[in-house]
């Protein structure tokens, strides 16, 4: 009788478990891809990304895309992370206008009339 009494007073349940909803959080930074590989988000090569984030002749010494380097104190090398908002902004600025056949107008949404 005492075993039955204890089982009835404990906080046991047969209700199904509630599953927590998982939301995807967009990353803020992206690591440079390995040599010979392309980044998974935009398909850009390591060389192109380096030209966008490092001062060089191609960008007149002023990189258009922000990046950060994580390195230990005194270390020569580190981990370069590219700011994805900055990269997306750069790509949006350099979108080529779409081809519009003669006689059609371009509406601001990008649709043709």
37-60 pLDDT, tens per residue? 999 999 999 999 999 999 999 999
- Counted residue by residue, the chain has a size of 113
27: nearest Cα among 92, 80, 82, 65: 82
Rounded to two decimals, the pTM is 0.65
pLDDT band at 99 (very low <50, low <70, confident <90, very high): low
Ordered by start, the domain boundaries in the chain are 29-93
Name the more confident of 19 and 25. 25
CA distance 62 to 52: 9
Q: Where is 85: in which H helix or E strand?
A: helix 84-93
pLDDT at residue 110 above 60?
no
């Amino acid at each position: 009788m005492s075993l039955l009494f204890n089982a009835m007073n404990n906080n046991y349940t047969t209700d199904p478990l509630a599953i927590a909803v998982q939301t995807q959080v967009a990353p803020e930074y992206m690591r440079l891809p390995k040599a010979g590989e392309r980044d998974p988000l935009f398909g850009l090569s390591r060389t192109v990304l380096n030209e966008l984030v490092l001062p060089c002749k191609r960008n007149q010494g002023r990189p258009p895309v922000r990046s950060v380097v994580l390195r230990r104190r005194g270390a020569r090398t580190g981990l370069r992370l590219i700011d994805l908002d900055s990269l997306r902004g750069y790509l949006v600025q350099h979108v080529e206008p779409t081809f519009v056949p003669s006689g059609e107008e371009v509406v601001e949404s990008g649709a043709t009339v």
